């Protein structure tokens, strides 16, 4: 992988931020490493199987994720039945089509949006879904923000890595101050913050999530800047005992996001 510039800022009341400069080279053999000591995770907002121009892109997304060969794939905006913008393979929802194509397992999609689709508007019905290689023998769990009808779901899995349990959360996060609803939902289901990771379409809220879930000064945010302000939609937030040994852009041009992310984790 090409050398990446690491931008590190230590703040008195904030965590250690890790932003990475452009590095687009992708390796396809990283998942061949020992699953017992590290974990390769890919995350992609698939926009219901469409690219930035609204064109069908599900087959390109599948091809990209196959090349990454991650142990775990985390999807956001994965279409559910009734989504009128979705690209489906037959009658399958997006996660089913991708899991079948990659030979992976998953246990449903946690709904994050269901718009009414009135008038000229299309109904959008999608969520987050975690897929894993069958050899990992995992189980997924969903939770929802109470009394919220839109963008309210999270999904997580507990993965054994290096003799520890990694709590891995897939999120499509929208709420910010003062309630931080999704972040507090993650916190309520993260019994061991130092061994916790939140990854996905975090919509620039990565540091708020880290502060709520792990505590100020006890997390790191990892991302490639996607905005003029230097923040990012796609990001990874790690607890104090989780190390990101590599972070790469993936699947550029296949969704309405500039890219997804692939991160390799070790756990101490």
Task: Give 106-136 pLDDT, tens digit per residue.
Answer: 999 999 988 888 888 888 889 999 999 999 9
So what's the pLDDT on residue 181?
A: 87
Instruction: Look at residue 53 and tell me whether its pLDDT is greater than 80.
Output: yes
pLDDT band of 148, cuts 50, 70, 90:
low
Of 112, 131, 120, 22, whose CA–CA distance to 72 is shortest? 131
Domain ranges of the chain: 6-267
pLDDT-derived band at 18 (thresholds 50, 70, 90) equals: low
Count the Cβ atoms, other than its own, within 10 Å of residue 25.
Answer: 9
Q: Which CATH class is domain 6-267?
A: alpha beta
What are all long-range contacts of 224-230, with beta carbons under 8 Å and residues at least 24 apart? 224/19, 224/20, 224/21, 224/22, 224/23, 224/249, 224/259, 224/261, 225/19, 226/257, 226/258, 230/19
Average pLDDT over residues 162-184: 87
- pTM score, whole prediction: 0.87
Residue 11's pLDDT band (cuts 50, 70, 90): very low
As a whole number, the mean pLDDT across the chain is 86
Residue carrying the six token digits 């932003």: 19
Measured over the CA atoms of residue 7, residue 68, residue 210 and residue 234, the dihedral's sign is: positive
Which tokens hold the place of 187? Answer: 């916190």
Give the per-residue pLDDT at 91.
Answer: 64
pLDDT of residue 3: 34
Helix (H, G, I), strand (E, B) or coil at 81: coil
Per the model's pLDDT, the better-predicted residue between 233 and 85 turns out to be: 233
Tell me if 124 sits within 8 A of 114, measured CB to CB.
yes
What backbone torsions phi and psi does residue 16 show, to the nearest 5 degrees? -85, 125
Specify the range with the lowest mean pLDDT, choosing from 10-24, 85-99, 134-148: 10-24
Instruction: Record the tokens describing residue 103, joined without a space.
Output: 């030979």
Q: What is the mean pLDDT of residues 27-48?
A: 75
């Amino acid at each position: 992988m090409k050398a990446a510039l690491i931008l590190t800022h230590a703040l008195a009341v904030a965590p250690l931020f890790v932003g990475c400069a452009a590095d687009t080279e992708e390796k396809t053999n990283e998942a061949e490493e020992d699953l017992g000591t590290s974990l390769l995770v890919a995350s992609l907002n698939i926009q219901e199987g469409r690219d930035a121009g609204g064109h069908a892109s599900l087959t390109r997304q599948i091809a990209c994720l196959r090349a990454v060969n991650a142990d775990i794939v985390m999807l956001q905006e994965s279409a559910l039945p009734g989504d009128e913008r979705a690209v489906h393979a037959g009658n399958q929802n997006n996660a089913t089509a991708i899991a079948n194509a990659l030979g992976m397992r998953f246990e449903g999609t946690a709904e994050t949006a269901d718009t009414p689709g009135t008038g000229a508007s299309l109904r959008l019905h999608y969520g987050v879904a975690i897929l894993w290689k069958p050899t990992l023998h995992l189980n997924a769990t969903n939770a929802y923000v109470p009394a919220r009808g839109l963008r309210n779901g999270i999904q997580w899995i507990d993965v054994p890595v290096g003799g520890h349990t990694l709590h891995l959360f897939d999120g499509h996060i929208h709420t910010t101050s003062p309630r931080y609803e999704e972040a507090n939902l993650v916190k309520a289901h993260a019994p061991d913050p130092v061994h916790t990771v939140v990854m996905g379409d975090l919509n620039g809220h990565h540091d708020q999530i880290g502060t709520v879930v792990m505590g100020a000064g006890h997390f790191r945010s990892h991302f490639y800047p996607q905005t003029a302000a230097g923040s990012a939609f796609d990001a990874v937030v790690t607890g104090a005992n989780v190390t990101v040994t590599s972070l790469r852009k993936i699947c550029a041009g296949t969704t309405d996001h500039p890219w997804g992310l692939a991160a390799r984790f070790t756990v101490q």
